Structure 1
């Protein structure tokens, strides 16, 4: 049964109340937290890792890590930002491990790159746009444009400062606009050629 407290369900106040319940040992409260955040965290991980299976695995790891560390959470930042910080660091670690494995594997066998199967055109467009960004740029873009965190919250998640994050975000926007224009020109050349 879902927990109910006065106020809007799944509001920041409700989430903070659930966190306090989890700290006292209430596992049902944590199940409510997982239900609230699982889609958001999954999408974040999917766009970083570009693999549904890997994103599902990482999602489970993130919620286990968060549960183990929930006693360390303090309300000076939102629980959502705290959870995304865990997702950010864990995803970086997974990508570093994958990169090392890919380098090792490519020494022994020629790599065959398989592109993901896309559900729709927009998913493919997003994937192609993210391909032109570095890992750090993807994190900033996803946290700002998709998760809609403030620059202060993103700076907290990424252990940076808000001014640097704001500047990086502006550079990312310019880079994506330029890449989009270049893709449009290349597409027109292919069609006319």
Structure 2
């Protein structure tokens, strides 16, 4: 069932061998795991957390956690799916903490000055992701970019694959409508995906 990382060129046999070496006490073998997945996990965290600094910190924390909990990894699911599951839950925890801090900061700002308008978002991808919830961003990245099946995403997020399919279809419709509202392409011009 190990597919490596569909979003990149990861050799699943090399990863399993590295994991075996780490479990046998060769700590330096974990470097190959980090090298293989660091970029994909950073991208995933960035689009969930919406901050380069937070994503960089999250990647470090996630790999430390994965290293510490490597004994809990079982081959029932792919290593990459297990890694994304750790990343998913870590990012959700970060978002919860950030939400609490944001509430406190907004109350503080309201007492000092009126809020200033935010700077405009630069890229179309940033605008698109800015209008999505963290759950929608996560689903979009795992399905479209990393090309996981709904069953694999269900293992990562702890949701049912049927519920994820429905959420994905609603998300697709939302993005099509969002693009149409911006004066973009019409529904007929949007490529249908799985």
TM-score interval, normalised by the smaller of the two chains: 0.7 to 0.9
Q: Does 1:173 align with 2:172?
A: yes
Cα distance in 1 for residues equivalent to 2:116 and 2:53: 19
Q: Any conservation in 1 of the 2:154–2:161 contact (CA below 8 Å)? A: yes
Q: CA deviation at 1:104?
A: 0.4
Alignment of 1:44-193 (within 5 A): 44-110=44-110, 111-112=115-116, 114-115=118-119, 118=122, 124-184=123-183
**CA distance in structure 1 between the partners assigned to 2:85 and 2:158 by the alignment:** 9
Count of aligned residue pairs for this structure pair: 172
Output the CA distance in 1 between the equivalents of 2:176 and 2:23.
Answer: 45
Tell me how far apart the structure 2 counterparts of residues 168 and 180 of structure 1 sit (CA, whole Å): 18
| TM-score (ref. length: structure 1) | 0.84
Which 5+ residue runs of structure 2 have no aligned equivalent? Answer: 1-8, 185-194
Structure 1 residue runs without a partner (length 5+)? 1-8, 119-123, 186-193
Deviation at 1:112, TM superposition (A): 4.2
Runs of 4+ in 1 over 6 A off after TM superposition: none
> Residues of 1 paired with 2:63 and 2:120: CA distance?
26
